[in-house]
Chains A and B, each alone.
Chain A
Amino acid sequence: MIPAAFDYYRPKDVEGVIALLQEHGDDARVMAGGHSLIPMMKLRMAEVPHLIDLQDIAALKGIAIDGDTITIGAMVTQHELINHDGLSAAAPILSEAALQIADPQVRYMGTVGGNIANGDPGNDMPGLMQCLDAQIELLGPEGTRKVAAREYYEAAYMTDREDDEVLISVRFAAPTGGYSYEKQKRKIGDYATAAAAVQITKAEGKVATASIAMTNLSDVPVWSEDAGDALVGTTCDTEAMKAAVAAMLGDIDPTEDNRGPVAFKRHVAGIILTRAITRAWDRA
């Protein structure tokens, strides 16, 4: 658990980050909270000769709620998500999910940007951002561009982000209706055995819109459009939920690990989604 030697940089602005990334190419990596990258470096699974720490960049911090648009800076911590009054009112699913990430010590350091950018299938924020249909803002040498969270993930640790780009923020419309983030894990600090993010709006006693995303059940987060569609127009009765679960099961592709075999994970995914829908519908 001793990393190889590396040079450490702490630029004051994003331009400085981009310059370092251009200078060092593949040999440089940015670090937000460090909770994924540092263990990888200590295990020598990631070799990072040039480590760029983002913590001094004020522009990456802060939560902005502008009308119905919410912007979260990449360096906002999970702790801040939980403790931000305006955010808890505008998008309560965020604090509900963040409270299920690791433990307080980790949440003081772990960031939204790091959680989203890395492409780790075990992270909770990617699925959540897909559920919220967030736009991910990337800054590169050519300026900024936006990518939909639903388009961002390609495979485990493979994303649409180029090596010389930095994730600077995520932006989404404040959700309305009912919400739920439901997660089963073996213990505090563990990744999900299965997790579901659900937002539901209701009109005239029926589901008007439904957005459903699943975590750690494929090598990427899974936004299941069909599962959401299965609920629209229904009263979220048992049959509708069964249909949503069936649709979701068609979209996920879990693999066996120490959390259990595939059959177990698929079963639990269905249970967790059913519970998440039930709670979101109750709140809608």
Chain B
Amino acid sequence: MNDLTPDREERSAGLKGLGCSRKRVEDARFTQGKGNYVDDVKLPGMLHGDFVRSPYAHARVVSVNKDAALALDGVVAVLTAEDLAPLNLHWMPTLAGDKQMVLADGKVLFQGQEVAFVVARDRYVAADAVELVEVEYEELPVITDPFESLKSDVVLREDLAGQTEGPHGPRKHHNHIFTWEQGDETATNQVLDGAEVVATESMYYHRTHPCPLETCGSVASMDKVNGKLTLWGTFQAPHVVRTVASLLSGIEEHNIRVISPDIGGGFGNKVGVYPGYVCSIVASIVTGQPVKWVEDRMENLMSTAFARDYWMTGKIAATKEGKITGLHCHVTADHGGFDACADPTKFPAGFMNICTGSYDIPVAYLGVDGVYTNKAPGGVSYRCSFRVTEAVYFIERMIEVLAIELNMDAAELRRINFIKKEQFPYQSALGWEYDSGDYHTAWDKALKTVDYEGLRKEQADRVEAFKRGETRKLMGVGLSFFTEIVGAGPVKNCDILGMGMFDSCEIRIHPTGSAVARLGTISQGQGHATTFAQILASEIGLSADSITIEEGDTDTAPYGLGTYGSRSTPVAGAAAAMAGRKIRAKAQMIAAYLLEVHDDDVEFDVDRFAVKGAPERFKTMKDIAYAAYNQAIPGLEPGLEAVSYYDPPNMTYPFGAYVCVMDIDVDTGVPEIRRFYALDDCGTRINPMIIEGQVHGGLTEALAVALGQEISYDKMGNVKTGTLMDFFLPTAWEVPNYETDYTVTPSPHHPIGAKGVGESPHVGGVPCFSNAVQDAFRAFGLRHTNMPHDHWRIWQTANDLGLHE
């Protein structure tokens, strides 16, 4: 070694491993229009599919006349449920244990439901043919309200008539799907009955939609010569799609190759299986030619999976001093026409039982009733782990309502109820074991940074000025403290259609010291090719720039459960670290052999193994990789490869403290976000720049949901928000500046201590924006008002409080 020898820090920096704000390797192609999305897949002889969809929310399909469509030049086929029935593909199973019509089988249950699938040589001809398919409907009474549904004589799901038992237990009514209960209701009610203070509130978390920039689509190509089916699609879980496709079609799984190419955002929308996927497969099998189906924006908003639509009622008990003693939550969940929620099998309401939040609540109860209505199916986790946004919104609103009830500061109320650092691992009343946390430190840091006391003083002054008529703007200080539950999950209690929710990484080191790693997840914009390479770089001592990450091709990637619920880093990231450690273990043996010492006498040092006590004697990982291929090493197989299937022992529990300062124009209902501070603790930070980007994105989707983004229906079941004119998708113009901050509380059970972050800002952001709006009116007696807080609803709140006199 000499002066030119890089020191340890320089060598470490050269790896671009953990903690490095490495630029995203994906961006070169994304920013130059060189991505390869499903709609970019073009195959010789490819046909195009398009749907005839129901204009009615509830109707009997009396007849479908295909003649005029089939007569159009270029039309190859028109498929209806009748055509799919012999293959038993007119219905398909949902992830929630229900079944769903692929094409209308006798009736339709929501506006936009798929009725017939037209296949044509040209996309334009397909669209023309859709117009020519004549469908005769007989309208039926429409139910868009779940409470009305539970009282109605109208049977929505005639196929389930007489079935009193569903996949999740007894059904109480013909439009009822399930009841899911967690915790101890008797004990909770006892606490509520004897409590010094009880705050009760009902709230509606409106229906919205993930609305990724790229809509859903697929290209199916059945090769009748070799019997192989290749399926490109917008799949957040390609391996699960392969298994489902095999089970449904009867094609052996090794003969199916599923490819998720570049995906333009998922946010939960691309977890489920849609009729379009099935129809493109069937059409390719029938025609022997590749068939593409890509939905347009209106189809995406109207028919593919929605999110939320939870009617929640809470009761929270506390002492006069504000110590929470119990929590009761009931949810009426509107699932639409079919139960197509994308949750682990045993969790029909996802992880809604994280609704005790970040607080030490000794006794709690959660009951959820799922209900059918004439709305689109879905119920996906829109930028959150399963139903966690609903849970966090619920508890963060209940805390605010309790603070009003107690006439107490909401920040202080949170502080005195937080789970304390020394209580971790913490067993919650509703069954979770929180892995780690330091809530008080995060909260204090957040409040200090924003000068919380100063904000409250300014707010009080503003209220006085308003009352004196000097201003028409009120000020809201929105608080939220959230705990996510991500990284599903332990195979012992989490599965999707029977597949345990492990994940995987396979790594292969090339002789010259570069590598390819394949994982069971699939990036939809999260930057996996960047961050997973960083995890591996730190584990195996090769530069992240020398490691290619591949995902999404089931012929090459190891089996995994995909990317959603912030599970990539907690599960696949852990698998990557574990696979890297296997590489390192073999590398250690090779190094010891090359250095002619015992295995235990060498130690790993950033990018090399060195003899203990003699750091000048070392072999770099590049040296070791070459040796693995170019010489016989006694007792070792040639090559340097490893695979890890990681079954996490627990979920991870990222948390964060957010503050939003908002000015609200009482006369127009226009909110203006003056400041937004977000402190996230996602454990070990892999790439701070990507974390910051994730936080910005999640907060922006939170702003959207809180301030206007909804899927709404009229009484006839017509979708009122079917285009981006009415469905709020914020642009740079509507988005405030975000201040990001962090603390680091590693997960004790994750190999590198990381917890996942992609969804935290959405989970914490929605209640923060909503609380800011509601807090502005607290001084005038507002207790709770439902989202979305768009202009007219804010104006209505002000109006109801008599502020427009």
CA distance A103 to B724 in the complex (A): 14
Given the known interface contacts A5-B124, A258-B720, A267-B667, the answer about A184 and B791 at a Cβ–Cβ threshold of 8 Å is yes
Chain A proximity of B282: nearest CB distance (Å): 22
Once the chains bind, are A186 and B728 in contact (CB under 8 Å)? yes
The listed residue (A2, A187, A264) touching B734 by CB distance below 8 A is A187
B514 at interface (Cβ–Cβ under 8 A)? Answer: no
Q: Closest Cβ of chain B: how far from A183's Cβ, in Å? A: 11
A32-B725 Cα distance, complex, nearest whole Å: 21
A258 x B791 contact (CB < 8 A): no
The CA-CA distance from A2 to B299 in the complex, in Å, is 12
Q: Which A residue sits closest to B720, measured CB to CB? A: A258
- As a 0/1 sequence over residues 177 to 198 of chain A, the CB contacts with chain B under 8 angstroms (1 = contact) are 0000000101111110100000
Contact of A187 among B124, B127, B669, B731 (CB under 8 A): B731
Residues in A whose Cβ lies below 8 Å from that of B127:
2, 4
In Å, the complex CA distance between A261 and B793 comes to 10
Q: Give the docked Cα–Cα distance between A189 and B727 (Å).
A: 12
Set A4, A103, A189, A271: member contacting B725, Cβ < 8 A: A189
- Whether a CB of chain A sits under 8 angstroms from the CB of B22 is no
Give the residues from 534 to 553 in chain B that come closer than 8 angstroms, CB to CB, to chain A. Answer: none
Q: Are B791 and A186 within 8 A (Cβ)?
A: yes
Given the complex, which residues of A lie within 8 Å of B720, measured CB to CB? 258
Q: Scan A60-71; emit 1 where CB is below 8 A from any B CB, else 0.
A: 000000000000
Given known contacts A44-B131, A271-B667, is B731 in contact with A258 (CB within 8 Å)? no
B731 & A260 in contact (Cβ 8 Å cutoff):
no
Considering residues B124, B297, B734, B792, which has the most beta carbons from chain A within 10 angstroms of its beta carbon? B792
Q: Is the beta-carbon distance between A184 and B123 smaller than 8 angstroms? A: no
Interface residues of B in 681-731 (CB under 8 A from A): 708, 712, 720-721, 725-726, 728, 730-731
For the complex, give the distance between the alpha carbons of A124 and B50 in Å.
36
Chain A residues, CB < 8 A from B734? 187-188
Docked complex Cα distance between A114 and B123 (Å)? 29
- B669 touches which one: A188, A190, A191, A264 (CB < 8 A)? A264
Instruction: Given A258-B721, A261-B792, A264-B669, decide whether A187 and B728 contact each other with a Cβ distance below 8 A.
Output: yes
Q: Which residues from chain B contact A187 at a C-beta distance below 8 Å?
A: 708, 728, 730-731, 733-734
Task: Give min CB distance, B276 to chain A, whole Å.
Answer: 15
Contact of B731 among A5, A103, A184 (CB under 8 A): A103
Q: How far is the CA of A103 from the CA of B730 in the complex (A)?
A: 13
Mask: chain A, 232-275; 1 = CB below 8 Å from B; 0 = not: 00000000000000000000000000111101100110011000
Q: Quote the shortest CB–CB distance from A75 to chain B (angstroms).
A: 25
Report the Cα distance A206→B721, complex, angstroms: 47
B791 and A259 within 8 A (CB) = yes
Q: How far does the alpha carbon of A121 sit from the alpha carbon of B547 in the complex, in Å?
A: 57
Taking a contact as CB atoms under 8 Å apart, the answer to whether A5 and B128 are in contact is yes
Chain A residue at minimum C-beta to C-beta distance from B792: A260
User: Which residues of chain A have C-beta atoms less than 8 A from B728's C-beta?
Assistant: 186-187
* Residue B670 lies at the interface, judged by CB distance under 8 Å to chain A: yes
Chain B 728-762 interface 0/1 with A at a Cβ cutoff of 8 Å (1 = within): 10110110000000000000000000000000000
Distance between A59 CB and nearest chain B CB, rounded to angstroms: 33
A259 to B669, CA, bound (A): 11
Mask of A202-230 contacts with B, CB within 8 angstroms, 1/0: 00000000000000000000000000000
Do B721 and A1 touch across chains, with their CB atoms under 8 A apart?
no
Chain A residues contacting B669 (CB-CB under 8 Å) are 264, 268
Residues of B within 8 A of A263 (CB): 799
CB-CB under 8 A for A271 and B791, given A44-B131, A187-B734: no
Q: B775-801 CB contact bits vs A (8 Å, 1 = yes)? A: 000000000000000111001100100
> Complex Cα distance A33/B259, Å?
39
Which residues of B have CB within 8 Å of A191? 725
Give a binary string over B383-399; 1 marks a CB under 8 Å from any A CB, 0 the rest.
00000000000000000
When the two chains form their complex, are residues A186 and B668 in contact, meaning their CB atoms are under 8 A apart?
Answer: no
Residues of B within 8 A of A189 (CB): 725, 731
Is the pair A193, B791 in contact by a Cβ cutoff of 8 Å?
Answer: yes
B126: A residues at CB distance < 8 A = 2
**Interface residue SS majority, chain A:** loop
Cα A188 to Cα B131 with chains together (Å): 33
Q: Are A264 and B731 in contact (CB under 8 A)?
A: no
Query: Which of B668, B726, B730, B796 gathers the greatest number of chain A CB atoms within 10 Å?
Result: B668
Can you name the residue of chain B whose Cβ is closest to the Cβ of A122? B725
How far, in angstroms, from A186 to B721 measured CA to CA in the complex?
14
Residue of B nearest to A185 (CB): B791
CA distance A271 to B791 in the complex (A): 13
In the complex, whether B298 has a CB less than 8 A from a CB of chain A is yes
State whether B791 touches A260 (Cβ < 8 A). Answer: yes
Asked if A1 and B298 sit within 8 Å, CB to CB, the answer is yes
Q: Give A264's nearest chain B residue, CB to CB.
A: B792
Please name all residues of chain A whose beta carbon is closer than 8 Å to the beta carbon of B148 when the two chains form the complex: none
Q: Which residue, A44, A187, A267, A271, has most C-beta atoms of chain B within 10 A?
A: A187
In this assembly, does B804 line the interface, its C-beta being within 8 Å of a C-beta of chain A?
A: yes
Chain A 4-17 interface 0/1 with B at a Cβ cutoff of 8 Å (1 = within): 11000000000000
Measured between alpha carbons, how far is A264 from B668 in the docked complex, in Å? 8
Which B residues are CB-close (under 8 A) to A272?
668
The answer to whether the Cβ of B296 comes within 8 Å of any Cβ in the partner chain is yes
Given contacts A1-B296, A188-B731, A271-B668, contact A264 B795 (CB under 8 A): yes
B795-A268 in contact (CB<8A):
yes
> How far, in whole Å, are A83 and B671 apart by their CA atoms in the complex?
30
Query: A267 and B804: CB pair below 8 A?
Result: yes
Give chain A nearest CB distance to B50 CB in angstroms.
8
| Chain A residue contacts of B795, Cβ below 8 A | 260, 264, 267-268
Q: How far is the CA of A44 from the CA of B296 in the complex (A)?
A: 14
A-chain residues with CB within 8 Å of residue B128 when the two chains form the complex? 4-5
- Cα distance A1–B670 when bound, in Å? 33
Roughly how many angstroms separate A258 CA and B733 CA in the complex, as a whole number? 21
A184 with B721: CB separation less than 8 A: no
Q: Which residue of B lies closest to A1 (CB)?
A: B296
Are A1 and B731 in touch, CB under 8 angstroms? Answer: no
Return chain A residues, CB-CB under 8 Å to B667. Answer: 267-268, 271
- Cβ–Cβ < 8 Å partners of A44 in chain B: 131
* A5 neighbours in B (Cβ, 8 Å): 124, 128
Write the chain A residue with the least CB distance to B725: A190
Report which of B123, B670, B726, B730 forms a contact with A258, defined as CB distance below 8 A.
Answer: B726
Please judge, given known A-B contacts A187-B733, A267-B804, whether A2 and B297 are in contact too, CB under 8 Å. Answer: no
**Shortest Cβ distance from A50 into chain B, in angstroms?**
17
* A268, B668: Cβ atoms closer than 8 Å: yes
Interface code B211-238, partner A: CB below 8 Å = 1, 0 otherwise? 0000000000000000000000000000
Q: Which residues of A have CB within 8 Å of B790?
A: 186, 260
In the complex, what distance in Å separates the CA atom of A4 from the CA atom of B72? 13
Whether B792 lies near A259 (C-beta < 8 A) is: yes
Among A11-57, those with CB < 8 Å from B are: 44
> In the bound complex, what is the Cα–Cα distance between A147 and B734 (angstroms)?
39
Mask, B650-671, CB within 8 Å of A = 1, is 0000000000000000011110
Asked whether A184 lies within 8 Å of B668 as measured between CB atoms, the reply is yes
Contact A188–B733 (Cβ < 8 Å): yes
- Inter-chain CA distance A2–B669, complex, in Å, is 37
Residue among B670, B733, B795 with the highest chain A CB neighbour number at 10 A: B795
Query: Which residue on B lies nearest to A187, using beta carbons?
Result: B734
Provide the bound-state CA to CA distance between A4 and B131, in Å.
10
Cβ of B364 to closest chain A Cβ, rounded Å: 38
Q: Which A positions have Cβ atoms within 8 angstroms of B? A: 1-2, 4-5, 44, 103, 184, 186-191, 193, 258-261, 263-264, 267-268, 271-272
**Nearest 3 CB-CB pairs, A to B?**
A260-B792, A2-B127, A1-B296
Other A-B pairs, 12, CB within 8 Å; known A260-B792, A271-B667: A1-B298, A2-B127, A186-B708, A187-B730, A187-B731, A188-B734, A191-B725, A258-B712, A258-B720, A264-B792, A267-B799, A268-B669
23 contacts between A and B (CB under 8 A): A2-B126, A2-B127, A4-B131, A5-B124, A103-B731, A103-B733, A184-B668, A186-B728, A186-B791, A187-B731, A187-B733, A188-B731, A189-B725, A189-B731, A190-B725, A193-B792, A258-B720, A258-B721, A260-B795, A263-B799, A268-B668, A271-B667, A272-B668
